[in-house]
Structure 1
Amino acid sequence: MTALAGTGVLVRLALRRDRLLLPIWILVIAAIPVATASAIAELYPDVGSRLALGATIMANPALQALTGPIFDPTSVGGLTAWRAITFATVLAALMSIMLVTRHTRAEEESGRAELIGAAPVGRYALPAAAVLVTGLANLLAALLLIAGFAGQGLPAAGSIAFAGAVAGVGLVFAGIAAVTAQLTENARTANALAIAVLGLFLLLRAAGDAAGAEAVSWLSPLGWAQRTRAFADERWWLLAIVAAVAILLVAAADLLARRRDLGAGLLPSRRGPASAAASLRSPLALAWRLQRGLLLGWAAAFAVAGAVFGSLAAGVGDIVGDNPQIADMLARLGGAGALTDTFFATQLSLFALVAGGYAVQATLRLRAEESIGRAEPVLVAAVPRWRWLAGHLACALAGSALILAIAGLAAGLAHGLRIGEPATQAIRILGAALAQIPAVWVLAAITVLLFGLLPRATSLAWAFLVVFALLGQLGELLQIDERIRRLSPFAHSPSLPGGTIAVGPLIGLCLLSAALMAAGLAGFHRRDLNSD
């Protein structure tokens, strides 16, 4: 029996298990760029209007931090690549990370890998099947992208380059997830490590593009995807580099897998004390102990990201230069300070979306604890269900507020130190960041609602985050009705600093969160543990 015996059977099993969720991932990855191309063709039908948009883009570091530079502002394809390739590659990376971890480390953690290994199945069939399924998913997304762009009349070469870049980045992160799955015994930790790497690469790409530092952007696979220059004198050799990196990462994961036992990780778990400390005598204390590593990692990432973007903000006003149109626009808005405030408002809205990811991940710990059987020993004691749930929920709510505060404080201090007003700017940007908290809490509340009423579908909380992000970032471009765009809680957050704050919407978001949490708690009280 070879080491890959049974791979085909496991591929079919994985496709059957993901027959509902996987097509949604593929369709969303393909639909967003195609819909963006259609909207751009309608909104900017002539070269003159596209050039005007391109001038605005190149003059706005905030836009370049969010979506990257534009290489051909004269064509629909060039504008589509600028606007959509970052979103598509991030979604492809997330899909690949979750697929690989779900079908490798999660199978070992649950014990199913050992049962599968007892059958005539090779030692490396399981990870091989996970990588093959992920590669197939990225290939299908690429084919749909090519077909969709062809339907829009875009050039074939640019369509293939765009699709290849998206699929290539997906395969790179499949390799990264395969590596992190070898490092730890816990699927959740493996996912968190891979997503942290994605966040780091996204930060490098954003910081490099905003500051015009090409060398920094080239450190990120997301930067490679942009610099493939789809629809703008394509660089085909970059696709070969992306493919080579993906292959090397998968090979590295294979070498690491040979150095560990089934179910074990290369980073051994620390042995705990024989008896619990007094600080662990409450559900909240236990939840904090379980969640603190995740929170510290997110807090460090937000501190670094906030400091980076804060240091860039002071130079935003320098983009005026000799451009009289931009100078006139700034004069109407209130000067270069208005552009700096717009920069901060844009970045803080992005921080809020990412903090929503933390809120979802931290709240999903409830389902993880229940699934692996650790919730039952706690609840069988004199611990009410609401206290156990409230402990993890408190960590999610307080943690999301904390990381947003850290990002705002770091950004304000970095900006203030550059302009000589550290205390004033720190307080101002901190307040703007805190105004984003109620919208983030709605995502935690949705996750609790799914956990209480539809525990098997708790992963749909990620879908809500993606939908809210799309409504906020692409809703106006895709000409989605304003009433639909306002279904996103982030649409009700104030645009600060520089804008006005309305207390009513923030109170409404808090009340909505409380109602959703109460409904989730009621559902959890009525259902059995480990029920579907």
Structure 2
Amino acid sequence: MKRLVALMGQRARRDWLQVLLWAAGTALLAYASFVGVSDAYGTEQDRTSLLAAALANPVILLFRGLPSGAAEGAFMVFLIFPWLAMLAAFMSTFLAVRHTRGDEEAGRAELVAASPAARTLPFLATALHGLLANTLLAALTAAAFLAVGLDLEGSVLAGAATGAVGVTFLGVGLFSAQLLRTSRGANSAAVWTIVVTFVVSGIGNAVGTPSDDLTRMESSWMTWLSPFGWGENTRAFDENLWWPVLLCLGVGVVLAVVSGVLVSARDLGGSFVAERLGRAAASPVLSTPGGLVWRLTRGAVLGWTVGGLLTGMLSTSLASIVQEVGASNPAVEDILRQISGDGSVEQGTITTFFTMLGVLAACCAVQIVCRARQEEAHGTAEPLLAAPVGRVRWLADYLVIALIGIVLVVAAAIGGAALGLAGQDGDWALMRTVLVTGAGQVAAASVFLAVTALAFVLVPRATIALGWSLVLLGMMLGLFGPLFQFPEWLVHLSPIAVAPLVDGDDVDLRGLWWLVPATAVGVGTALAFMRRRELASAG
């Protein structure tokens, strides 16, 4: 027991700030969302109108929760719960992989295994640590709901459901860490599981059965394939069902138990999914440092590019549907106009999807810069820098590949938008909106690239946490700011919220005047400081 407590204490010391930021950030999002909803949709008539639009419009349901009535609390849960649960899911998977596969890669697990601690004791400490982290997140989220005056049972249930989804994905992270040999592979598998199940839940809600008064939706069978769907079906502040919380916890426990068995069945550093054998002869591409960076990151670029293609196809394929709904219900039109200015509803739909595209492109860039940090921390960058490759050249190669990744993601989305128009026999004049907003999101995503590069040079050990936190913050402000009536100055702190767009017949450059200089100054400063920076090992 003493050894278990000591291991949990070590994890708490390493993670206290990260866990606190994740939990407090989730609670703060819940609190700010309620304030925004109260201001924008203060009457039941306003909420009923938006729910009716949502039930008739798959675009809204794809990225929102499960409608459960027009009551203030239920309405807010409909708008924000999937994103609260997503934050809990990311926190849990990163925590699980960091203290299992990550410790094995860094050599810390081997040191613990050489002590009198049992083989599974570090794994058990990680599982309990993750459970406590999700308990804290759930408690703070429930407190945020209570702080705005919502009832006790619904608040506690909404917080518990958020934490329970996190526990499910804690199990996913522990399981993926046993299957795959690297922390990068385990994190990628866990993240794609989060993204896929999030989309499955949204599609399941979109094709469900609406109530006669258009304020509720019964989920389709697809929703029950996703932990996000389980959490949404608690219907907090309405029916207050607790058994989906038990389902989330049960699946998380089962995955953790299976992972614990796998820990005992494999060698330290081993995995159940074998690594692919390398080629007998190196490709000519690997003869240059830039070619090596491309080889290390091409899988990530491909994944985000596919996401961009799908986003572009949805933007134009669904634009005509939204146009029909907006013509009969101004609630949808009002929301989209808050994002797109004075353009048409179809332009607003494309702008909404391309705002999400900016997030995908930023994620691609941040992941590539974080890969540079991983190479440095793991010691694999040192042999390369011992050759005639300067530090500035080494970092510049990562930044160039990251910029190429941003362009490829946006280009795929533009191609997908064209395919969507061709399939629907749509209005090809919308391609002007596609091209302008796409180019604008390249500029916006490049700012995240520059800021993450600065973090890598100035505070290398915080690169991953800062890079992903800034993307999440930018996403929250850019996607939710207009909907929740956040102050304009706060929304405009997000690069994706001030990217150029088509405003009626004109092009509004908006924040381009600072996006491009900020990127240039950030990248230039990072490269200048990299010339004098020493290599920073893991720790």
TM-score for the superposition, normalised by structure 2:
0.89
Indicate whether 1:241 and 2:247 are aligned. Answer: yes
Name which of structure 1's ranges 243-252 and 209-218 shifts more when overlaid on structure 2.
Answer: 209-218
Indicate whether 1:481 and 2:492 are aligned. Answer: no
> Out of 34, 37, 49, which is 2:34 matched to?
37
Indicate whether 1:432 and 2:451 are aligned. Answer: no
Deviation track 1:485-513 (CA, whole Å, cap 9, x = no partner) reads 21211121134596743447335312211
Superposed, 1:411-450 pairs within 5 Å as 411-419=417-425, 429=434, 432-450=437-455
Q: Is the 8 A contact 2:97 2:177 kept in 1?
A: yes
> Out of 505, 511, 516, which is 1:505 matched to?
511
Deviation track 1:98-128 (CA, whole Å, cap 9, x = no partner) reads 1111111100001110001101111112222
Give the residue type in structure 1 aligned to 2:475: A
Seen in structure 2, the aligned counterparts of structure 1 residues 429 and 207 have a Cα distance that, compared at 3 Å, is: farther
Secondary structure of the residue aligned to 2:511 is helix
Tell me the residue number matched to 1:27.
24
Seen in structure 2, the aligned counterparts of structure 1 residues 427 and 478 have a Cα distance that, compared at 3 Å, is: closer
Q: Is the 8 A contact 1:344 1:497 kept in 2?
A: no
Alpha-carbon distance, 1:169 to partner: 0.9
> Out of 198, 214, 218, which is 2:194 matched to?
198
Alpha-carbon distance, 1:180 to partner: 1.1
Q: Is the 8 A contact 1:451 1:524 kept in 2?
A: no
Indicate whether 1:298 and 2:304 are aligned. Answer: yes
Inter-partner Cα distance in structure 2 for 1:452 and 1:43: 42
Secondary structure of the residue aligned to 2:240 is coil
Seen in structure 2, the aligned counterparts of structure 1 residues 43 and 312 have a Cα distance that, compared at 3 Å, is: closer
Indicate whether 1:166 and 2:162 are aligned. Answer: yes
> Out of 34, 37, 47, which is 1:50 matched to?
47
Secondary structure of the residue aligned to 2:190 is helix
> Out of 390, 395, 402, which is 1:384 matched to?
390
Q: Is the 8 A contact 1:176 1:194 kept in 2?
A: yes
Deviation track 1:223-257 (CA, whole Å, cap 9, x = no partner) reads 22222211121232222222222122222322333
Give the residue type in structure 1 aligned to 2:14: R
Give the residue type in structure 2 aligned to 1:436: Q
Inter-partner Cα distance in structure 2 for 1:463 and 1:380: 33
Q: Is the 8 A contact 1:5 1:120 kept in 2?
A: no
Tell me the residue number matched to 1:126.
122
Inter-partner Cα distance in structure 1 for 2:30 and 2:39: 14
Tell me the residue number matched to 1:186.
182
Seen in structure 2, the aligned counterparts of structure 1 residues 243 and 133 have a Cα distance that, compared at 3 Å, is: same
Inter-partner Cα distance in structure 1 for 2:332 and 2:532: 62
TM-score for the superposition, normalised by structure 1:
0.90
Secondary structure of the residue aligned to 2:126 is helix
Seen in structure 2, the aligned counterparts of structure 1 residues 225 and 405 have a Cα distance that, compared at 3 Å, is: farther
Indicate whether 1:403 and 2:409 are aligned. Answer: yes
Deviation track 1:4-55 (CA, whole Å, cap 9, x = no partner) reads 9832221110001112221111111112112322343354444334334434
Inter-partner Cα distance in structure 1 for 2:178 and 2:289: 31
Secondary structure of the residue aligned to 2:61 is helix
Superposed, 1:253-268 pairs within 5 Å as 253-268=259-274
Deviation track 1:346-394 (CA, whole Å, cap 9, x = no partner) reads 1111121132222111111111111111111111111121211111111
Q: Is the 8 A contact 1:171 1:246 kept in 2?
A: yes
Q: Is the 8 A contact 2:501 2:508 kept in 1?
A: no
Inter-partner Cα distance in structure 1 for 2:333 and 2:490: 34
Seen in structure 2, the aligned counterparts of structure 1 residues 124 and 426 have a Cα distance that, compared at 3 Å, is: farther
Indicate whether 1:368 and 2:374 are aligned. Answer: yes
Name which of structure 1's ranges 521-530 and 493-502 shifts more when overlaid on structure 2.
Answer: 493-502
Tell me the residue number matched to 2:4.
7
> How many residue pairs end up in the alignment?
523
Stretches of structure 1 lacking an aligned partner (at least 5 in a row): none
Secondary structure of the residue aligned to 1:501 is strand
Alpha-carbon distance, 1:259 to partner: 3.3
Inter-partner Cα distance in structure 1 for 2:280 and 2:388: 22
Q: Is the 8 A contact 1:314 1:419 kept in 2?
A: no
Indicate whether 1:455 and 2:452 are aligned. Answer: no
Superposed, 1:194-343 pairs within 5 Å as 194-210=190-206, 212=208, 214-273=220-279, 276-308=282-314, 310-319=316-325, 323=328, 338-343=344-349
Seen in structure 2, the aligned counterparts of structure 1 residues 324 and 38 have a Cα distance that, compared at 3 Å, is: closer
Inter-partner Cα distance in structure 1 for 2:462 and 2:30: 27
Seen in structure 2, the aligned counterparts of structure 1 residues 134 and 319 have a Cα distance that, compared at 3 Å, is: same
Superposed, 1:62-101 pairs within 5 Å as 62-73=59-70, 75-101=71-97
